[in-house]
Structure 1
Amino acid sequence: MKEDYLDIKTPEYVAIQFQIAGLGSRAAAFIIDQALLMLVNILSIVVLYFVMVGMEPLPVFLSHSSFPVAIVIIGLFIINWGYFFFFEFFSGGRTLGKKIVGIRVIQENGHSITLLASFIRNLIRLIDSLPTAYFLGIIMIFFHPKHKRLGDLVAGTIVVHERKAKKKKLTPIEKEINLRGLSQNNLLLDEWTLKSFTSKDWKLVSTYANRFTQLPLKERNQLTKQIADILLPKTGLDSAGKTERELEDMILIIYLILKDEWEFEL
């Protein structure tokens, strides 16, 4: 089956792509939610029964047989409707069922669902459930190009699959830096010092870092000493008396710092 995608362009002109959740994943999430609600409903009725049995004789306002039933009906409605409303707004568009399946509700512009949208979407759920077993909602989701039910149309929402962050494969130099336990915090540079580095310095240190793991040891030591003599004075550090390993570490730390400043500017 062909997967449907939604492309959203942010105000910063960045394109974000979402995979739209179809009938299958939405039905699976709904079944899980309904199973949880059914368990809560049964427990609520059982608790209310034992509470009323323990209140003999019943208070005057509970003496009419229809009154307790009305309380149960109103209570169950609040639980069943409030469950979807509460979780979709306060849990980032995810009920427990949606979280398990890996889908969520968002606004059509890509933003998180708003309080009003969640309220409207779940209020219209009453119509989507007609005539029975969510027949209208199922038909709408199946035939709509963006798999929307009536509540989604009115509230301006859409159900999408969670965007899983792809694990970035580390480059050889990133592996080496991690292995050495280096980070930007190992060398604190003020703003004035940072501005003393030029694009030429960045090209020099980035070339060094990219070739670092490929260079023969002798050639690497020579290059390290040359670059250290150029860069370290700008940071106020002295290369004299430092071992090759210490110089390498300092240059790689400078590489990490300058990477944030220059990588996307060239």
Structure 2
Amino acid sequence: MNQEQMEIKTPEYVSIQFQVAGLGSRAAAFIIDQILLNIVNLLVLIVVWLIMEGMSPLPFFFFEDTLPLAITIIVLFIINWGYFFAFEFFSGGRTIGKKLIGIRVIQENGHSITLLSSFIRNLMRMIDTLPTAYFLGIIMVFFHSKHKRLGDLVAGTIVVHERKAKRKKRLTPIEKEIASRGILKDDLIIDEWTFKAFTEKDWKLMNTYAGRFTQLPLVEKNQLTRQIAEILFPKIGQNVLGKSEQELEDTLLVLYLNLREEWEFEI
């Protein structure tokens, strides 16, 4: 089945195109994730077996007290379910398998997956696995027009291919300015919770600022820098007071690099 293009209109009335991930890429990502989980499951069972061998003369699967076995089953369930839930929310809709294949889970409106959506989507995974080997999920992904399984339908999510930012042969004026200052994206570490506080409106503000940065007279540039810093700095836990114009500019340019990676897509 051919991969399809899907156009999403954001609440800001901006149209963004995504390439929907089909059964093949989703299955490949899942296989990678499952191999990793199987390794972890095996390690857990080995540890439990070693502990039980030391505590009981009976073989592991014949000990009288069923509490350790029940705890082991609960722990394995939490690991196998929590892996997908945690990675998809805290890693921008990407498990390790999805990251390697180049796909991610997003909301139907184009925004990053929310905590509730990740919870619902992965809770429904138990139904998608029925009757065995993800049969229901595979059938739905194959026949659904947007390659959704039941969890995606209920949670309002969709799996799409990662989209790279445009790569230009020639550096733009702002890229030259950033390079001349030796500024790197990693100069400002933004955790996932903080990053989710930024909206498309914030990106448009930063993009406009970066586009005009090298063109504005010094006085106007300083005024604009301080105004934007007062708007965005609280979101990254920084204070405008006591910072020089150079420090404000450098921090905003680093923030621009971070936001650009998320919001500047190749349409």
**Alignment partners' CA distance in 2, 1:41 and 1:134:** 19
Letter in 2 for 1:191: E
Superimposed CA distance per residue, residues 119-174 of structure 1 (whole angstroms, 9 cap, x where no aligned partner): 11000000000011000000000000000000000000000001111202328x96
**Alignment partners' CA distance in 1, 2:84 and 2:222:** 54
Task: Give the C-alpha shift of residue 57 in structure 1.
Answer: 7.6
Taking a change above 3 Å as real, the CA distance of residues 72 and 14 of structure 1, as seen in their structure-2 partners, is same
| Cα RMSD after superposing both structures | 3.2
**Alignment partners' CA distance in 1, 2:80 and 2:145:** 28
Find the residue that maps to 1:190 and give its secondary structure: helix
Letter in 1 for 2:159: V
1:93 aligns to 2:122 (yes or no): no
Superimposed CA distance per residue, residues 37-94 of structure 1 (whole angstroms, 9 cap, x where no aligned partner): 0000000000111122223589xxxx73322221111111111000000100111100
Superimposed CA distance per residue, residues 72-117 of structure 1 (whole angstroms, 9 cap, x where no aligned partner): 1111111100000010011110000000000000000001111111
1:72 aligns with 72
**Alignment partners' CA distance in 2, 1:167 and 1:145:** 31
Q: Map 1:73-152; keep pairs closer than 5 Å.
A: 73-152=73-152
**Alignment partners' CA distance in 2, 1:37 and 1:194:** 53
Find the residue that maps to 1:7 and give its secondary structure: strand
Structure possessing the higher radius of gyration over alpha carbons: 1
With normalisation by structure 1, the TM-score equals 0.63
**Alignment partners' CA distance in 1, 2:71 and 2:221:** 70
Higher RCO (CA < 8 A, seq sep 6+): 2
Taking a change above 3 Å as real, the CA distance of residues 14 and 42 of structure 1, as seen in their structure-2 partners, is same
Q: Which runs of 5+ in 2 are unaligned?
A: 182-212, 225-267
**Alignment partners' CA distance in 2, 1:191 and 1:134:** 59
Q: Map 1:24-35; keep pairs closer than 5 Å.
A: 24-35=24-35
Find the residue that maps to 2:55 and give its secondary structure: coil
With normalisation by structure 2, the TM-score equals 0.63
1:191 aligns with 220
**Alignment partners' CA distance in 1, 2:39 and 2:68:** 20
Identity in percent: 70
1:167 aligns with 167
Taking a change above 3 Å as real, the CA distance of residues 49 and 11 of structure 1, as seen in their structure-2 partners, is same
Find the residue that maps to 1:92 and give its secondary structure: coil
Find the residue that maps to 1:105 and give its secondary structure: strand
Taking a change above 3 Å as real, the CA distance of residues 71 and 166 of structure 1, as seen in their structure-2 partners, is same
Find the residue that maps to 1:28 and give its secondary structure: helix
Task: Give the C-alpha shift of residue 192 in structure 1.
Answer: 9.0
2:7 aligns with 7
